[in-house]
Amino acid sequence: MPKNFTCSSSGDPDISNNYVEISIDPNLLNNFSNEDSMGAYLSSHSCSEEFQKLRNELLREVLYIVENCLTDKQREVMKMTYLEGKTQNEISNELGKHQTTIHKILQGNIDYNNQKKRYGGALKKIRKLCARNEKIQEILKKMRDEHKVYEYEGY
């Protein structure tokens, strides 16, 4: 079963609708979420060929970040979660770790002394790196523009 993760489409963490949500299908990484965000634009049955190319380019960039910017443990848990579709409990059993450890690897820890802000965690790291990556931001802009054209033409 595919899983979802998000990466920021701008650097502003205070805007709640500022994320693209990507569902990674273990079979060719081809299915995307259908949330009310950029994920809605990623549905292959309702987008242009150019948009699909942009989607694949975006996915390659995000996977590059996963491969090259996460720790070995974060990368392993991300792949098991988002590519293999395993639950945190399944991963914890397979790795011999507690489920909360797997959750913290993905989500990070909560600092209760600092307004309950999260620190660490693979997903937060990916969001930050996506927000700072000019190529990803350029792809997201092109995807928004392509979607507007596609909607306007009545597809």
What's the CA gap between 46 and 147, in Å, rounded?
Answer: 10
E strand residue ranges, the chain: 3-8, 19-24, 109-111, 117-119
Residues 66/151, Cβ–Cβ less than 8 Å: no
Specify the pLDDT at position 98: 95
Specify the pLDDT at position 48. 77
Domain definitions of the chain by residue range:
3-152
Return the pLDDT at 94: 96
Among 14, 32, 36, 34, residue whose Cα is nearest residue 24: 32
pLDDT of residue 15: 42
pLDDT tens over the chain, length 155 residues: 445 444 444 444 444 444 455 544 444 333 333 333 344 444 444 567 888 899 999 999 999 999 999 999 999 999 999 889 999 999 999 999 999 999 999 998 887 887 877 778 999 999 999 999 999 999 999 988 887 765 655 55
The set of long-range contacts for 99-106, using a CB threshold of 8 Å and a minimum separation of 24, is 102/77, 105/73, 105/74, 105/77, 106/74, 106/77, 106/78, 106/81
Decide: pTM greater than 0.95.
no
Res 146: pLDDT: 83
The encoded tokens of residue 100 equal 């909360």
CA–CA gap between residue 33 and residue 24 (Å, rounded): 8
Q: How far apart are CA 57 and CA 146, in angstroms?
A: 14
